[in-house]
Amino acid sequence: MSTHPGMDEAIDILAGARRVVVTTGAGMSRESGVPTFRDAPNALWADYNPEDLATRAGFARDPALVWRWYAERRRMIAETTPHAGHRAIARMPRLFDGFLLLTQNIDNLHTTAGSSDVVELHGNIFRFKCFENGHPATPDEGAGEPPRCQCGSFLRPDVVWFGEMLDPHHIDRAYAALATCDAILVVGTSGLVYPAAGFPAVARDAGARVVEVNPEPSGVTPIADVFVRAGARDTLPLLVDALERLRGGR
């Protein structure tokens, strides 16, 4: 008998799956010290209106404010390290015939933990691009807030703001995997921001079982086959340890 209600069923579902999708949100990195977006009291947006910060219109209105907000978050994230849950997910691909990790997180922690193929749906805070033309760019040290691109426009973080399209290549990979997976493991997302919020339902409608790990109910919980009400850091290693034992270290 495992510690958390639902763990044994979650293990059964994943042990019986050949193709698995894992999708993660901000709660995945909370125990590494990265604040989530919507959990009081430390939520990132507690003091700000997201519409002022994470939109093209917000950046156009006050580029320095948005740049500084991201610069502060980048400094803070750079001091964090992945936890045992990130490392457990990095061990998962070898357990299945098909595996895809879809993260909404921009913090790079899955990659640092050893996941080699991470679909970063909302981009990466450590990359930059031109605000006007979208080409990749590297800011010069001390080049202003925001720094200018060579073409004269401002630079911005290479993240996906509200109202912006996700990378079509990422979307194609996501929906192809969702259509064919046997199980989807959903970790630490409020299930409110689309299109990622719709992924569990897409997978379920294509026949997959839905396992959720989250200390609080989310928008995903009503359609989850199993809801493991617990944090990512302690739960995922237990889950992956059990799968590795069952699969004989395949």
Prior bond of 139 cis (ω within 30°): no
What string marks each residue from 102 to 131 as x (binds ligand BJW by CB under 6 A) or -?
--x-x---------------x---------
Q: Which neighbouring-strand residues pair with 24?
A: 103, 187
The correct pick among 23, 32, 36, 111 for binding ligand BJW (CB under 6 A) is 36
- Does residue 37 touch ligand BJW according to CB under 6 A? yes
183-202 binders of ligand BJW (CB under 6 A)? 187-190, 192-195
Helix%, strand%, coil% for the chain, nearest 5: 40, 20, 45
Q: How far is the CB of 85 from ligand BJW (least distance, A)?
A: 7
If the CB atoms of residues 159 and 206 are measured against ligand BJW, the closer one turns out to be: 159
- Let me know if 122 is a catalytic residue: yes
At how many degrees (to 10) do helices 232-246 and 7-15 cross?
50
- Does residue 39 touch ligand BJW according to CB under 6 A? yes
Q: Which helix (H) or strand (E) holds 198?
A: none
134-173 binders of ligand BJW (CB under 6 A)? 159-165
Q: Which of 97, 102, 94, 91 is nearest to 184 (CA)?
A: 102
Distance between CA 30 and CA 41 in Å, rounded? 13
Distance between CA 117 and CA 158 in Å, rounded? 18
If the CB atoms of residues 65 and 159 are measured against ligand BJW, the closer one turns out to be: 159
Distance between CA 243 and CA 237 in Å, rounded? 10
If the CB atoms of residues 22 and 187 are measured against ligand BJW, the closer one turns out to be: 187
The residue count for the chain:
250
Active site residues: 122
Positions in the binding site for ligand BJW (CB under 6 A):
25-27, 30-31, 36-39, 54, 104, 106, 122, 159-165, 187-190, 192-195, 213-216, 218, 231-232
